Amino acid sequence: MKTIVAFLVGAWVAMACSRISPEMQVIHDAAEALGGQGRILQSKTLVIEGEGTAPNLGQNITPDTDLPVWKVTKFSRVIDPANSRMRVNQVREAQFLLASATVQPQEYGLDGEIAYTIGQDGTATRVSEWTARERQRELLHHPIAIVRAALQPGSKLTNARTDGDLQLVDVTTAKADTFTLAINGTTKLPARVSSMSYNDNLGDVVIETSFSSYEDVGGLKLPKRLTTNIDKYPQLDLQVTKNSVDVEAGDIASPEAVRSAQIPPRSLPVTVTAEEVAKGIWWLAGSGNHRSVVFEFDDHLTLFEVPLNEMRTLAVIDTARTLRPNKPLTHAIVSHHHFDHSGGLRAAVASGLTIITYRGNVEFFKELVARKHSIVEDALARTPRPLKIESVDEELTLKDRSMEVRLYHLKDNPREGTNLFAYVPRGKMLVQADMYDSSWMRHPWGDNLPFNLKLHNLQVEKSVPVHGTVQTYAEVLKTIESRRAAAGS
């Protein structure tokens, strides 16, 4: 009897040990559907070629309209999952009005902990550790790569669950990055993978890539369509024209010059210069091509534009407060919602400034201020303050004995739907963002600038821009005219 009991207990223990967790079952099912665990682990290279669309995040005409789109005419991604290497090469063409080059080749790579970009002249340049981590996650947004990573001994699988007809499991890699893999409950093929990331404007975001239209290639099933979103915003819709496995894809290891290069910081140091362009008006320039303007009133200062990002805006605010130490900086005029112009919005709120902007930006700015920033704690996350905001309908005049600034909503611009520009009657000065930049290759909406000035009977003699250099209005018109042919072409 004792022998029988011992046998039954031993058999039960063996059966229990042979059972795999629900999480591992999801991964095993996905691996089998893709071609088998052995084939996945043996695969050396994946090459994805195709074309598609890549919306331009943060650059729509208004906050609630569709994003302008880059057409990706050539796309190639080579993945070496065993060595955590990737090389991406693409050519994109703007399907929207653009003042810079409308056809842009791009090439970048990842080699383990090293990320780099390759210029058009073939020179490779190392980029930040932050970018390297982002690309490591990008590499795993492919069904073979994420399932292969989940099968590695250092990975942890948790939280098996269902969502409709999908089975989900969380995969935490040895580098402590967590992904959620969803597989189709019937076919067991991966349907999507998602991971958390950080965007300077949007804060904590979910990057999600969906997979569809699988085909058989070299003993594996590979998707012919990959669609990536950042939260609700589309990022890339790739139609694969060719999937290849274990083909000779060239050397995608990082060049020696890149491996030996010093790792650059995520953000370069900011310098801000202050030039008094008229009595009580300062142009804050310095590094980069994003400027701000300070207006001096009787008892306070007002800032025009909080550009680019938190670092730039905080440096601008610090500089502005030194111009008239006896007068507080109280307001910030934000010209429009484009991410490079609203990038310092949260920093301005954290600094206690009241935001002045066009009414069409208000709800979007409320959303940006309310978003969670926990992956990287920005100034507002560290020092929470309520948003103080004043909306402008079509025009607003800020005036006292010392200063008069008229704000106007930019009309009928094909690229800017929520833009405010400023006019200072004293000195006949125009202060504007994205209406004109002296450094632009072309001026496809150049006629819109004089149109808006004429609409309000404004006599401009000097242009003090957010982008470019201070010029006379005659110089502005001459530059626009000289590049009109380029805009037509």
pLDDT tens digits, 327-370 = 999 999 999 999 999 999 999 999 999 999 999 999 999 999 99
What phi and psi, each to the nearest 5 degrees, are found at residue 20?
Answer: -105, 160
Same fold, 21-259 and 272-488: no
* Residue 234: pLDDT over 90: yes
For residues 298 and 312, what is the distance between their CA atoms, to the nearest angstrom?
27
The amino acid at 102: T
Q: Which residues pair with 333 in a beta bridge?
A: 304, 356
Which band of pLDDT confidence, cut at 50, 70 and 90, is reported for residue 485?
Answer: low
Asked whether the beta carbons of 473 and 453 are under 8 A apart, the reply is: no
For residue 295, the surrounding DSSP H or E stretch is strand 292-296
For residues 171 and 21, what is the distance between their CA atoms, to the nearest angstrom?
13
Q: Determine whether 432 is exposed, middle or buried from the number of CB atoms within 10 Å of its CB (0-12, 13-18, 19+).
A: buried
* Residue 9: pLDDT over 70: no
Q: Determine whether 398 is exposed, middle or buried from the number of CB atoms within 10 Å of its CB (0-12, 13-18, 19+).
A: middle
Asked whether the beta carbons of 223 and 213 are under 8 A apart, the reply is: yes
Q: Helix, strand or coil for residue 250?
A: coil
Compute CA distances 20 → 9, 24, 26, 233, 298, whole Å: 19, 6, 10, 37, 74
What phi and psi, each to the nearest 5 degrees, are found at residue 375?
Answer: -65, -45
Q: What is the pLDDT of residues 355-410, one digit of tens each?
A: 999 999 999 999 999 999 999 999 999 999 999 999 999 999 999 999 999 999 99
Domain 21-259 has CATH 3.90.1150.10: no
Q: Return the pLDDT at 14.
A: 40
Above pLDDT 70, what percent of the chain?
95
In this structure, the strands spanning 203-217 and 404-409 are unpaired
Asked whether the beta carbons of 134 and 114 are under 8 A apart, the reply is: no
Asked whether the beta carbons of 92 and 73 are under 8 A apart, the reply is: yes
The secondary structure of residue 65, as a DSSP letter, is: S
Number of other CB atoms surrounding residue 393 within 10 Å: 9
- Residue boundaries of the structural domains of the chain: 21-259, 272-488
Strand order of the β-sheet with 471-472 is 395-399, 404-409, 420-424, 429-432, 462-465, 471-472
Q: Return the pLDDT at 489.
A: 47
Q: Determine whether 265 is exposed, middle or buried from the number of CB atoms within 10 Å of its CB (0-12, 13-18, 19+).
A: exposed
* Residue 7: pLDDT over 80: no
What number of CA atoms fall less than 13 Å from residue 473's CA on the CB side? 15
* Residue 472: pLDDT over 80: yes
| Three-state SS letters, 260-293 | CCCCCCCCCCCCEEEEEEECCEEEEEECCCCCEE
* Residue 12: pLDDT over 90: no
Q: Helix, strand or coil for residue 418?
A: coil
Asked whether the beta carbons of 281 and 295 are under 8 A apart, the reply is: yes
In this structure, the strands spanning 395-399 and 389-392 are unpaired
Lowest mean pLDDT among 33-47, 310-324, 471-485: 471-485
* Residue 18: pLDDT over 60: no
Beta strands in 151-189 (DSSP E): 156-163, 166-172, 178-184
Query: What CATH architecture is 272-488?
Result: 4-Layer Sandwich (3.60)
Lowest mean pLDDT among 12-16, 94-98, 203-207: 12-16
Number of other CB atoms surrounding residue 85 within 10 Å: 21
Query: How far from each other are the two terminal CA atoms of the chain, in whole angstroms?
Result: 94
Which band of pLDDT confidence, cut at 50, 70 and 90, is reported for residue 4?
Answer: very low
In this structure, the strands spanning 354-358 and 389-392 are parallel
* Residue 11: pLDDT over 50: no
Average pLDDT, the chain: 95
